[in-house]
């Protein structure tokens, strides 16, 4: 559908290659935020590598540095500005150095204005909607830097897009596992969340394009894929030849040569019985479901526009645990939502104790300008919220540890992902998403091994290879 545009972008990669091929330039991409951003960064790195850059890690040394930003919570913004400020010196030393910023934060007008005013050494800005146009934007800034010797800036942020460009280059972090976008954007408008504003309306990729990409990845050595979307359970709702997420998952997991399929994130409101059946009947689908709760109070859930109740959520958790043996459930919880009281927070604690999450990601509510919740009055003090957060950490840690202990002594299959920080040790990820540290040879990285779980350390296990 977008063939011409794709040709154009590829032609820019060739032009950049010709322009920089004798310059021995280096580049790096610094990623903030979620798996979606990590995936976008693999695409940006793929373009840079194909264009002739040598990819390095060090942002002080690199000739081209791109920050791929997140804006879900305010602290991500603060961390970014610290890093950008630190690069000022290296830009003075290397006059041709290019510092760029892209991603969710750059979809916000105020942030772009702030960068342009405070960080004069930033030469390139683009948002989430024109990430596909990166080869073109990069060629523009490079030709002004090296050909015209101008001190031009390339700033282009679009309000929306319907473009999905297939098969542009990607540089994967791991050779044996990969993320695969199945959809972009979000239509849910949870009242605290900025994602629908900075990532746009929900758009699903065609199932055939997703299958083609996974088949390509498998031919390229990938054993595990993670299907990515803000709410995978509404996959395909707007497609002409629509199929449900459960059917897509079934199709992907039947691809020969693929050993493990993960997915995230599941919005509880759309989690179907069909999906439970598909997971139950297919061992290649990970025994892990990330099911963000956000709050256990029905009043707060209503104010958050989550469209489920505490009772419905717990019913779903029971159905999942009964249907899928050995499943682990992880969740996200926000404390300090403007209308949350201590009584509401107790409801959240009650759900945690009943749902028995294996893992919980905890966040203090962060006000995001433009969202519905940003107009609400706070009913709690900072001290009250801090107390709740401390209590939340304590309860989730205890519940998680209790769940982890249940698997001690059992043997599970894990995919070895990387070397551990301790010499001679490796880290593997089990189907249920738990990490296991064990002694082993580096040559096992990228392979599946049988591991006996010896000791639980809260959020990971110490184990050993089962001979
Ligand atoms: N689409 C996913 C979903 O619905 O669960 C999550 C996307 S969001 C990037 C990841 C998590 O960030 C959310 O589940 C929520 O707990 C947290 N989050 C989002 N907006 C937030 C805010 N304004 N303040 C604090 N946490 C927030
Ligand atoms: Fe944000 Fe809600 Fe969409 Fe998740 S489902 S990205 S929390 S609006």
Given ligand 1 and candidates 128, 301, 334, 357, which is best to mutate, with the most ligand atoms within 8 Å of its CB? 334
List phi, psi (to 5°) of 465: -70, 135
Place of tokens 């996974």: 214
Instruction: Name which residue sits closest to atom 14 of ligand 1, judged by CA.
Output: 332
If pLDDT is split at 50, 70 and 90, which confidence band does 297 have? very high
Q: Which ligand is nearest to the CA of 192?
A: 1
Instruction: Judge if the beta carbon of residue 191 lies within 6 A of ligand 2.
Output: no
pLDDT tens for each residue of 183-206? 999 999 999 999 999 999 999 999
Considering only CA atoms, which of 26, 22, 20, 30 is closest in space to residue 61?
26
In contact, 87 and 60? CB cutoff 8 Å: yes
pLDDT tens for each residue of 418-465? 999 899 999 999 999 999 999 999 999 999 999 999 999 888 999 999
pLDDT tens for each residue of 74-124? 888 888 999 999 999 999 999 999 999 999 999 999 999 999 999 999 999
Q: How far apart are CA 339 and CA 373, in angstroms?
A: 9
In contact, 203 and 153? CB cutoff 8 Å: no
Q: How far apart are CA 196 and CA 393, in angstroms?
A: 28
CA 124 to chain centre: 23
pLDDT tens for each residue of 26-58? 999 999 999 999 999 999 999 999 999 999 999
Whether the pLDDT of residue 151 is over 80: the answer is no
List phi, psi (to 5°) of 94: -115, 95
Instruction: Name which residue sits closest to atom 19 of ligand 1, judged by CA.
Output: 193
In contact, 189 and 49? CB cutoff 8 Å: no
What are the distances in angstroms from CA 57 to CA 41, 62, 293, 350?
13, 8, 36, 44
**Cα-to-centroid distance, 183 and ligand 1 (Å):** 17
Whether the pLDDT of residue 4 is over 90: the answer is no
Atom of ligand 1 nearest to the CA of 364: 25
Average pLDDT of the segment spanning 373-377: 97
In sign, the C-alpha dihedral spanning 390, 391, 392, 396 is positive
H or E stretch covering 157: none
What secondary structure letter does DSSP report for 63?
S
Helical segments of 52-127, H only: 74-86, 88-93, 109-118
Average pLDDT of the segment spanning 169-195: 95
Helical segments of 31-108, H only: 35-50, 74-86, 88-93
Q: How far apart are CA 452 and CA 413, in angstroms?
A: 9
Average pLDDT of the segment spanning 120-141: 95
CA 284 to chain centre: 22
Q: How far apart are CA 415 and CA 427, in angstroms?
A: 9
Q: How far apart are CA 228 and CA 232, in angstroms?
A: 7
Considering only CA atoms, which of 437, 434, 433, 430 is closest in space to residue 464?
437
pLDDT of residue 1: 65
Q: How far apart are CA 467 and CA 464, in angstroms?
A: 9
Task: Please count the helices (runs of H) and the strands (runs of E) in the chain.
Answer: 14, 19
What are the distances in angstroms from CA 440 to CA 415, 444, 450?
13, 7, 12
Task: Determine the straight-line distance between the first and last CA of the chain, rounded to whole angstroms.
Answer: 52
Give the angle subtended at the CA of 338 by the CAs of 337 and 344, to the nearest 5°.
60
Q: How far apart are CA 166 and CA 17, in angstroms?
A: 21
DSSP states of 422-457: STTEEEEEETTS-EEEEE--GGGTTSEEEEEEEEE-
Atom of ligand 1 nearest to the CA of 332: 16
List phi, psi (to 5°) of 128: -80, -25
Residues with CB under 6 A from ligand 1: 34, 72-73, 192-193, 195, 230-231, 265, 267, 292, 294, 332, 334, 363, 365-366, 368
**Cα-to-centroid distance, 3 and ligand 1 (Å):** 34
DSSP states of 137-151: HHHHHHIIIIIS---
Taking residue 254's Cβ as centre, other Cβ atoms within 10 Å add up to: 12
pLDDT of residue 145: 87
Least confident of 20-24, 167-171, 281-285, 296-300: 167-171
Average pLDDT, the chain: 95
Considering only CA atoms, which of 286, 308, 219 is closest in space to residue 255?
219
- Helical axes 382-405 vs 342-355, angle rounded to 10°: 10
Whether the pLDDT of residue 246 is over 80: the answer is yes
Whether the pLDDT of residue 374 is over 70: the answer is yes
């Amino acid at each position: 559908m977008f063939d011409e545009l794709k040709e154009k972008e590829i032609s820019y990669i060739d032009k950049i290659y010709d322009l920089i091929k004798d310059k021995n330039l280096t580049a790096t991409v610094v990623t903030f935020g979620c798996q979606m951003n990590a995936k976008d960064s693999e695409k940006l790195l793929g373009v840079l590598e194909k264009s002739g850059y040598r990819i390095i890690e060090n942002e002080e040394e690199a000739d081209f540095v791109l920050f791929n930003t997140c804006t879900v919570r305010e602290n991500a913004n603060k961390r970014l500005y610290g890093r950008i400020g630190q690069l000022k010196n290296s830009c003075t030393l290397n006059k041709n150095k290019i510092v760029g910023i892209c991603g969710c934060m750059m979809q916000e007008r105020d942030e772009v204005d702030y960068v342009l005013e405070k960080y004069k050494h930033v030469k390139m800005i683009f948002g989430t909607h024109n990430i596909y146009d990166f080869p073109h934007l990069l060629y523009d800034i490079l030709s002004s830097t090296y050909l015209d010797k101008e001190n031009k800036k390339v700033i282009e942020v679009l309000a929306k897009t319907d473009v999905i460009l297939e098969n542009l280059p990607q540089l994967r972090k791991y050779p044996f596992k990969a993320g695969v976008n199945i959809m972009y954007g979000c239509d849910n408008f949870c009242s605290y969340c900025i994602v629908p504003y900075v990532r746009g309306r929900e758009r699903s990729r065609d199932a055939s394009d997703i299958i083609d990409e996974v088949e390509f990845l498998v031919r390229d050595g990938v054993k595990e894929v993670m299907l990515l979307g803000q709410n995978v359970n509404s996959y395909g709702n707007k497609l002409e030849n629509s199929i449900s997420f459960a059917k897509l998952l079934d199709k992907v997991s039947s691809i020969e040569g693929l050993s493990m399929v993960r997915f995230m994130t599941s919005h509880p409101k759309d989690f179907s019985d069909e999906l439970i059946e598909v997971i139950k009947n297919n061992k290649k689908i990970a025994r892990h479901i990330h099911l963000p709760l956000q709050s256990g109070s029905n009043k707060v859930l209503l104010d958050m526009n989550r469209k489920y109740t505490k009772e419905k959520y717990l019913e779903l958790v029971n159905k999942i645990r009964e249907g899928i043996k050995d499943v682990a459930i992880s969740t996200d919880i926000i404390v300090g939502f403007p209308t949350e009281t201590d009584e509401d927070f107790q409801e959240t604690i009650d759900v945690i104790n009943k749902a028995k999450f294996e893992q919980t990601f905890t966040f203090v509510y962060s006000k995001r300008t433009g969202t519905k919740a940003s107009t609400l009055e706070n009913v709690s003090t900072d001290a009250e919220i801090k107390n709740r957060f401390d209590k939340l950490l304590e309860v989730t840690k205890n519940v998680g540890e209790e769940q982890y202990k249940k698997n001690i002594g059992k043997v599970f299959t894990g995919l070895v992902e990387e070397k551990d920080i301790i010499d001679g040790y490796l880290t593997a990820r089990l189907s249920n998403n738990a990490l296991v540290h064990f002694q082993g040879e580096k040559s096992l990285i990228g392979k599946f091994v049988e591991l006996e779980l010896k000791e639980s350390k809260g959020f990971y296990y110490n184990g050993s290879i089962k001979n």
